[in-house]
Amino acid sequence: MSTLSLPDPLRPAPGGLKGRLMALLMPFAMETLLPLGFRVLRALPGNRRLFGIVVATRYDEVREAFLNDPDFRVPYLQKLDVIMGNEPFFLGMEDTPDYRRDTAAMRRVVRIEDIANLKVKVEAEGERIVAAAGGRLEVVDALVRQITFDIYRDYFGVTDPPEGDLRVFATRLFEFQFADAGNDPELRKEVDVMAPALRRHIDMLMAERRRSGQLGDDVLGRCLAMNAKGEDGFKDAQIRSSLMGFIVGGPPQPPMVVPQAMEQLLRRPEALAGAQAAARANDDKALAGFVFEAMRFDPLAPALPRTATRDSRLAAGTRREVAVKKDGTVYVAFASAMMDERRVPEPSVFNPRRLPHEYIHFGYGLHQCFGIHLNLALLPLMLKPLLKRQNLRRAPGKDGHLVKRGAFADKLWVEYE
């Protein structure tokens, strides 16, 4: 089987003793040891480096690091160049005229007014999947990944490449960009095949649309219409890189974080009952409160890295002030910040009516998630049809508990009437 036609979006888990140890130790490390470590670091009067790395753990420090892009840049450019074929994409840019041009251009084609129609589609697709599953459903792949890629294939206008599956391409490239701290050579081999193939595919789609004369009203079609008018920010390379960035940075995330929210609801019968009541009442605002609060207990990642562009200081003027040398790494622990009692009242209590500022799911500042408005509207709806079902419960045995494969949610089975 070729690299391009791999059927599983996730890479195989390690086998043998290593695999068994990881399966046993990783959940304990991520759910117990890491939160405990963050709690200790938040409580210390001063910031302490860990193996030479600064970890921002308090809410104010996390906001400061996210909002100070001139001093603490995203470290994504090198791998983005691999994915994009050395064409720029705004995720790797500083606050420059090119950054402002490219983000403004994409906001003209990824529109707030699209959300109403997307909400209808997400809910309808979820209902179709839940109704067809016969009372037993796997949440990660069969529900959330299916909804996400079905909806975003159509919305972006990017179909499966001839050689493979867009779910696999996007997820492997996402892992390379954001979760491959060890620079795995086997993953790099797949990326070196998949990234050029996806670039060629998008170029082919652009050419086909132009030949047909039917540009369409999806994101790709809107980009091509802007290109035909000579609008700034819509050259072919810019369109291709933006679509690549949206596909790699967007659809792989809901299958990670939405099943994690479902797992957190299943652990809390009262919260699950509240979420189900909101779903059945079609109270999408209340439902979102339950889902994003559940995500606070297991967010997308514990922290995001930033690299110091110059000798800098974090929490300057406080007892927590810490120097960061040029090219030093700061891990911005937004998972810790959302548990900081200084800014988040009773952080250990599940409260679905929290204020928006108590969440940092999508970052702040220059590189806040570009799709934040889509995510705020659509992520809760991916669970809504399931939550409407009577007697929703874990499947028996191990199937009924969320299993992760590395950074990714892997399996979670539920049953319902």
Any idea what the CATH number is for the domain that residue 139 is in? 1.10.630.10
What pLDDT is attached to residue 3? Answer: 53
Q: Are 255 and 148 in contact (CB under 8 A)?
A: yes
pLDDT of residue 24: 77
Overall average pLDDT of the 85-108 stretch: 96
Mean pLDDT computed over every residue of the chain: 95
Quote the number of domains for the chain. 1
Contacts 24+ apart (CB under 8 A), 396-404: 400/266, 401/263, 402/259, 402/260, 402/262, 402/263, 404/26, 404/27, 404/30
CB atoms within 10 A of CB 186: 8
Cα separation, 79 vs 249, in Å, equals 13
Handedness of CA 60, 63, 66, 70 (dihedral sign): negative
Range with lowest mean pLDDT among 24-28, 175-179, 314-318: 24-28
- In 3D space, the residue among 303, 295, 233 whose CA is nearest the CA of residue 93 turns out to be 233
Boundaries of domain holding 290? 3-41+49-415
The whole-number pLDDT of residue 379 equals 98
pLDDT one-digit tens code per residue, 205-227: 999 999 999 999 999 999 999 99
30 band by pLDDT with thresholds 50, 70 and 90? confident
Residues 304, 287: contact at Cβ < 8 Å? no
Q: Look at residue 396 in the predicted model and tell me its pLDDT.
A: 98
pLDDT tens, residue by residue, 275-305:
999 999 999 999 999 999 999 999 999 999 9
pTM for the whole structure: 0.95
pLDDT in tens, 300-335: 999 999 999 999 999 999 999 999 999 999 999 999
5 has a pLDDT exceeding 70: no
| 107-135 pLDDT per residue, tens | 999 999 999 999 999 999 999 999 999 99
Mean pLDDT on 331-341: 97
Over 50: is that where the pLDDT of 372 sits? yes
The pLDDT of residue 1 is 41
